[in-house]
Structure 1
Amino acid sequence: MSVDTEPRRRRLEPDARRGQILACAVRLFGERPYADVSTTDVARVAGVARGLINHYFGTKKRLYLEVIRVMVTVPEVAVAQLPAGDLRTRVDASVAWFLDTVSRHRTSWLAATAGGMGHDAEVARVLREAEEVAADSVLVAVGLADVTAHRDEVRGMIRAYGALATATAREWLERDALDRPQVHLLLTTTLLAIVEQVFPAVTGRPAAG
């Protein structure tokens, strides 16, 4: 969920050019409804020929699905950069990273998590895949990645927590019903409760430290 949204109007290597186009698409799909963004719009903002959009992404819908994926998927580097320390330190850092990211890409993240295309099966698939990646990341962050017994229940708890995190962030960013410190407190306290109380009660395993 980390993408530079400033286009670079110069000769770029293919990967960099693709990233530039994607960054511009993230911005445009965050600013406007899906139907109001064309590949011509993206090409103009990115400073490239429209044919390059088709070359790298195929159709407008494939480009949009990639925008959603980059906005809602937790990158591996986010987990790798978590600080060493006890459970509370890791949970606090994980929640801070999440809130930093969604606030930095506020408009695009809100649009991505809202769907934008109704009950589209491919959008739903991308969101489900992102949920699983997020669950893996949280399990690593809280020291439960090696759980095998009761794994379905544990992953279910973490997926439910992910849904809570998304809904809570929307209460902050979209409805202004909560402020950031309140959201941070709610999300850290809830995740700690899952790991320290709910998880041991369900599995009979000592809490992670």
Structure 2
Amino acid sequence: MSLEAEPQRQRLEPDARRRQILDCAIRLFGERPYASVSATELAKEAGVARGLINHYFGGKRDLYLEVIKAMVTVPPPDRVTVPDGTLTERADAFIDWFLTILERHGKTWLVAVAGGGMASDPDVGKILSDADDLAADRLLEALGPAITEEEAMALHPMIRAYGGLIKSTGREWIERRSLTREQVHTLLTDTLVVIVESAIGASHTA
């Protein structure tokens, strides 16, 4: 047996090992469909024993669900650098952060927001719906304390609908290359500001 055929495995803390496997899965599932990526290949690419896939995630399907969740879940506002400033400045910073993420994981994100070919799966559907709700909440948080609770409630369904624009423009940029990052940035920022200002203005004049 050739020693060179055996991958060298580093000793990592459980959280770091789990993250290593997840990062590898994010890359592989962004390159190929779910059915064409095996648990054995995932383990080999991550440099771990196959049993660790089951140990940390419960199996290939559960790992795939974690990939979708990781790709579509917006992190808490304290993990996104949004400066104090005007609504436009905060929206601009948030969109810039988001597009930077897409530059790194755009292909996997596109797969994830479409349900990864498993959109009819109830578990996938719940992940996507919950992620849309959470994204709306966290985007509103990031836009600043000037938005009242009443305004946030009115804005929530509008921001969920705005998420559809994010997905379609992301596809035009990442997949079709019909828009540049700058064009996507301008479109998403300007539209977000108009949505929020219109809703806030309406609530103040009601």
The TM-score, its normalising length taken from structure 1, stands at 0.87
The equivalent of 2:100 in structure 1 is 100
Give 1:1-209 correspondences, 5 Å limit: 9-76=9-76, 80-116=80-116, 117-143=118-144, 147-149=148-150, 151-201=152-202, 203-204=203-204
Flag structure 2 segments of 5+ consecutive residues without an equivalent: 1-7
Structure 1: how far apart are the matches of 2:86 and 2:29?
39
- Offset of residue 37 of structure 1: 1.0
Q: Which moved more, 1:145-154 or 1:174-183?
A: 145-154
Which structure has the larger Rg over C-alpha atoms?
2
- Offset of residue 200 of structure 1: 2.3
Structure 1: how far apart are the matches of 2:56 and 2:174?
32
1:146-191 deviation per Cα after TM superposition (whole angstroms, max 9, x unaligned): 6333654321011111221111111111112211111111101101
Is the contact between residue 39 and residue 50 of structure 2 (CA under 8 Å) also seen in structure 1? yes
- Offset of residue 137 of structure 1: 1.3
Is the contact between residue 79 and residue 137 of structure 1 (CA under 8 Å) also seen in structure 2? no
The residue type paired with residue 21 of structure 2 is I
1:22-61 deviation per Cα after TM superposition (whole angstroms, max 9, x unaligned): 0111111111101111111110101111111000000211
Is the contact between residue 81 and residue 94 of structure 2 (CA under 8 Å) also seen in structure 1? no
Is the contact between residue 18 and residue 56 of structure 1 (CA under 8 Å) also seen in structure 2? yes
Structure 2: how far apart are the matches of 1:172 and 1:12?
37
- Offset of residue 120 of structure 1: 1.5
1:89-130 deviation per Cα after TM superposition (whole angstroms, max 9, x unaligned): 111101111111111112211211222224221111111111
The alignment partner of 1:149 has SS state of: helix
Is the contact between residue 151 and residue 199 of structure 2 (CA under 8 Å) also seen in structure 1? no
Cα RMSD after superposing both structures: 2.1
Q: Which moved more, 1:158-167 or 1:46-55?
A: 158-167
Structure 1: how far apart are the matches of 2:66 and 2:184?
28
The residue type paired with residue 54 of structure 1 is N
Structure 2: how far apart are the matches of 1:128 and 1:22?
22
Runs of 4+ in structure 1 displaced over 4 angstroms? 77-80
- Offset of residue 145 of structure 1: 8.2
Is the contact between residue 139 and residue 145 of structure 1 (CA under 8 Å) also seen in structure 2? no
The alignment partner of 1:84 has SS state of: coil
Q: 1:145 and 1:133, CA in 2 relative to 1: closer, same or farther beyond 3 A? A: farther
Structure 2: how far apart are the matches of 1:147 and 1:61?
41
Q: 1:68 and 1:145, CA in 2 relative to 1: closer, same or farther beyond 3 A? A: farther
Aligned residue-pair number: 198
Which structure carries more helix by proportion?
2
1:39-90 deviation per Cα after TM superposition (whole angstroms, max 9, x unaligned): 1111010111111100000021110010011111111256552112221111
Is the contact between residue 92 and residue 188 of structure 1 (CA under 8 Å) also seen in structure 2? yes
Q: 1:162 and 1:205, CA in 2 relative to 1: closer, same or farther beyond 3 A? A: farther
Identity %: 55
Flag structure 1 segments of 5+ consecutive residues without an equivalent: 1-7
Is the contact between residue 9 and residue 46 of structure 1 (CA under 8 Å) also seen in structure 2? no
